[in-house]
Amino acid sequence: MKKILIIIALLITSNSYAENNGNENRKDWIKQLKRDLANDIGDVIYSNNQCYVEIIEHNGMTMKEYNYKSAGERRDDFKDIREREFRELFNDIFVDLDRPKNVNWVPPDFIPSVHPDYDDGIKYFNKKEYYSAALFLSDFLENNIQHDIAPKAQYLYAETFRLTDEYIEAATQYLTGYEKFIESEFTALNVMRLGEMMIKIDYPETGCELLNNVQNEVPPVNDDIYLETEQLMKTYECPKVVTTDGEIMLANLIKDTKELIQ
């Protein structure tokens, strides 16, 4: 309990110097922290400090009204369960802040915010909660199709279906990613996964042809994708074919694939 009180005190008594003097990465991280905390503990009001989390009010009570004693004990008239929940929530969120003040410090694994829906989609994807990830990524794509990160969001959206064994929907989303973002860095990945999904939904010939054509994609296929394609062809016993007129052949394959899964 004492550790949490120290952390909270550090947060709510930060001097005014920190308010606007952190770098953009720090401000972005604090913005995400505020959003995550509000999601976890409900009705919370913050100060305008951009570089520290300063809580003004929580569930209708100011921080002074929580009335911590100097020894770090909560007021006796609060129930134990409320105290425990409060402690656990603050510990989960602020454990990394128990360090000397550094207005530019962010966690080593921090990824700058892109968009709330995308951020939440990535959070759930990394936790392997794919159904929740799909909901947030879908919302992001619906309203932000021109965003620079949209090709990655579309690929990850398709991945949520592959990883939950919904192969027809996965194939549909990889195909969408290929068509909408044909010049992105995910083009070859979309074709590779599309080929794999076609095999899984009992169109092995089409799937193997797609895998054979991955190497003709633009931009050039990197070593990891090349090796994974080779492994998939080996796993599914696809004959190795040297293709010519790759762009024309792939265009026809994509057309045939679309007809098969619609």
Tell me, yes or no, whether 224 and 134 share the same domain: yes
The total domain count for the chain is: 2
Where among 55, 70, 97 does a domain terminate?
97
Tell me, yes or no, whether 123 and 253 share the same domain: yes
Q: Can you tell me the distance from the alpha carbon of 128 to that of 63, in angstroms, rounded to the nearest whole number? A: 36
Comparing 107 with 169, the larger pLDDT belongs to 169
Residue at 208 is within a domain:
yes
What's the number of CA atoms in the CB half-sphere (13 Å) around residue 208? 14
The answer to whether the beta carbons of residues 241 and 212 sit under 8 Å apart is yes
What's the number of CA atoms in the CB half-sphere (13 Å) around residue 242? 0
Residue at 102 is within a domain:
no
Q: Which candidate, 237, 180, 236, 240, places its Cα nearest to that of 214? A: 240
Comparing 249 with 208, the larger pLDDT belongs to 208
Residue-wise pLDDT for 60-98, tens only, equals 777 666 554 333 444 444 445 555 555 555 555 454 444
Q: Can you tell me the distance from the alpha carbon of 169 to that of 180, in angstroms, rounded to the nearest whole number? A: 16
Q: Which residues contact 105 (CB under 8 A, 6 or more apart)?
A: 26, 99
Q: Can you tell me the distance from the alpha carbon of 224 to that of 233, in angstroms, rounded to the nearest whole number? A: 14
In this model, does residue 4 exceed pLDDT 50? no
Provide the domain limits for residue 179: 116-261
Give the CATH number for residue 120.
Answer: 1.25.40.10
Tell me, yes or no, whether 245 and 149 share the same domain: yes
Residue-wise pLDDT for 185-233, tens only, equals 999 999 999 999 999 999 999 999 999 988 766 666 788 999 999 999 9
Tell me, yes or no, whether 121 and 243 share the same domain: yes
Tell me, yes or no, whether 89 and 18 share the same domain: yes
Q: Can you tell me the distance from the alpha carbon of 100 to that of 16, in angstroms, rounded to the nearest whole number? A: 17
**DSSP three-state, residue 163:** coil
Q: Can you tell me the distance from the alpha carbon of 195 to that of 175, in angstroms, rounded to the nearest whole number? A: 10
Over residues 117-132, mean pLDDT: 93
pLDDT value at residue 19:
57
Over residues 113-121, mean pLDDT: 88
Residue at 103 is within a domain:
no
Residue with structure tokens 């929530």? 89
Where among 37, 66, 97 does a domain terminate?
97
Q: Which candidate, 155, 161, 199, 193, places its Cα nearest to that of 177? A: 155
In this model, does residue 38 exceed pLDDT 90? no
Tell me, yes or no, whether 86 and 122 share the same domain: no
Residue-wise pLDDT for 145-163, tens only, equals 999 999 999 999 999 999 9
Tell me, yes or no, whether 48 and 127 share the same domain: no
Residue at 43 is within a domain:
yes
Peptide bond into 107 cis (omega under 30): no
What's the chain's average pLDDT? 78
